[in-house]
Structure 1
Amino acid sequence: MLLKLLLVAASALLSSLAARRFGHAVGGTLAGLPMIAGPIMGFVLLQAATASVRDIALATLVCLPATVAHLVVFAWSATRWPWWIALALANLAFFGLGALLPLVQLPPALACALALAVLAIGGRLMPRLPVVPGAVAIPQMELACRVAAAVAVAWLIIRSAGVAPAWFSGLLLAVPITGNVLPCFTLPRYGAAATVALLRGFVRGLSGFGAFFVMLYLGLAVWPEAAAYAAAWGAALAVAISLYALSQRRVASAA
């Protein structure tokens, strides 16, 4: 348990440090990657049967549209209301849609395709606000508070993932932990435009999250567990890096 929570703390800290050095969009991209769910799935893979892990991976993919809905609702709410209202509305969207999606019982191939399609259009659904790119001044105390909040939220998820039924474990793994924590600090201190940039970057990183779980689900059916897990991480990083490079090209061409 301690090692898992340390991984969560490292994820929140690295994402915040990336925002401090490179800007909110880069911090969001790192936060969207499976830096928390990936290690959790590694621990679950060591403890549970392969079939159970595939069930959890598929359930997570089924719930990914709810994760995107959370981020989009948070972004739009941040342009009008304070962080606590945006947080409440975003989680209402997440848990409401996330509870309904498993009831549809989509075929696995369609569930994977839907998850990737929603991720592809998620960034386009965000509000368009101008933001100045570059380093962000994040005080040490705020960094500590971000990490503590992320660890507190993750503790509940880690206690349930792999123990609860697969659909509920999948829903919990799809909860955007840093997507709940980081915007709540960003909005009151840096404003709506910075929050939208953070969440847009989060969607970009979440594409790597989706690639991770698609590759894990498919890979466990044909490869040894270690090979499938390594391939899942390779897919996540390749997708996130490619999308970030594409976004940088667009920014350069627009300038």
Structure 2
Amino acid sequence: MNILLVKVTLMPLVIGLITIISRKWGYKVGGLIASMPWIAGPILLFFILEQGKAFGIRSVPGILTGIISLISFCYCYAQLSKRFNWLVTILISYLVYVLVAVVFDFFRINLFAIYGITLTCVVLALYFFPVPADHQPQAKRLPFDMVIRMAVATLFVILITGLATILGPTWSGILTPFPIITSILAIFTHYLQGNSATITVLRGLVSGLFGFTTFLFLQAFLLREFSVGVSFLLALIVNLIINYIVSRMW
């Protein structure tokens, strides 16, 4: 199987699907669906196919560190979107993502500790998340926005997986949850619908990180005992159950 071909065909389909869901069922549902391992799952799979299963397992702690950075990105973008345009907001949020990743990578926290810290960060982020305003500005229209979203997502995935050999398992893992879908959703929602809609979609995404984090955490154990397909399937079922519970509680 040509892995590059999979990358350039799967990612456009994923981002297109999430965009359609967001438009049909709203920003909250769109954010929750976007938190599923649409990007991180395939990237981890590509790591395993290209670098071996041991590389994939060693990258899991780094991936969890990356999720903490992703939470920081979402919270930062939600806060800044109330005052700045999408370009300033995204650049500062990317900087926050990298800084948080560097700090946590310095301490080299073990798997169980980083899993607990990540879940705690999700809870704290949701507690302090900004509240969207009741007023929603009239939505703008952007020609070919679906095509642009698909192209950006594909380029991100190709770049991150292509750098895996140079970066090694730790930083490859940290960059796995890099806000690809999140950036696309945040930027386009911010520009087209305003900051209130952006806050809603990002809060939905953060709430879905309980399941996403658990999906990745389980790979460190399931991949040792089962095939890649079975490991991903079992963890995905757990991810879906957690997301359903969260959606009912929220």
Does TM-score exceed 0.5, indicating one fold?
yes
Aligned: 1:67 with 2:70: yes
Structure 2: gaps spanning 5 or more residues = none
Report Cα offsets for 1:209-232 as digits up to 9, x if no partner: 211111111222444444322222
Displacement of 1:94: 0.1
Displacement of 1:160: 2.1
Report Cα offsets for 1:48-98 as digits up to 9, x if no partner: 333221111121012221110000000001011000011011101001111
Q: Indicate if the aligned counterparts of 1:215 and 1:235 stay in contact, CA closer than 8 A.
A: no
Q: Indicate if the aligned counterparts of 1:208 and 1:240 stay in contact, CA closer than 8 A.
A: yes
Taking only aligned residues, the RMSD between alpha carbons, in angstroms, comes to 2.1
Structure 1: gaps spanning 5 or more residues = 248-255
Displacement of 1:123: 1.9
Report Cα offsets for 1:120-170 as digits up to 9, x if no partner: 33222210114589xx89767222222222222222112124663111101
Opposite residue 42 of structure 1, the aligned amino acid is L
Q: TM-score, normalised by structure 1?
A: 0.88
Aligned: 1:141 with 2:128: no
Q: Which deviates more, 44-53 or 183-192?
A: 44-53
Percent same amino acid among aligned pairs? 22
- Count of aligned residue pairs for this structure pair: 245
Task: Output the CA distance in 2 between the equivalents of 1:192 and 1:141.
Answer: 22
**How do residues 82-231 of structure 1 correspond to structure 2 at under 5 angstroms?**
82-131=85-134, 141-161=144-164, 164-231=167-234
Report Cα offsets for 1:200-253 as digits up to 9, x if no partner: 111122222211111111222444444322222122222122211222xxxxxx
Aligned: 1:33 with 2:43: no
Displacement of 1:119: 2.0
Opposite residue 85 of structure 2, the aligned amino acid is P
Call closer, same or farther: CA 1:158–1:49 in 2, change over 3 Å. closer
SS of equivalent to 2:131: coil
Call closer, same or farther: CA 1:129–1:172 in 2, change over 3 Å. same
Displacement of 1:5: 2.5
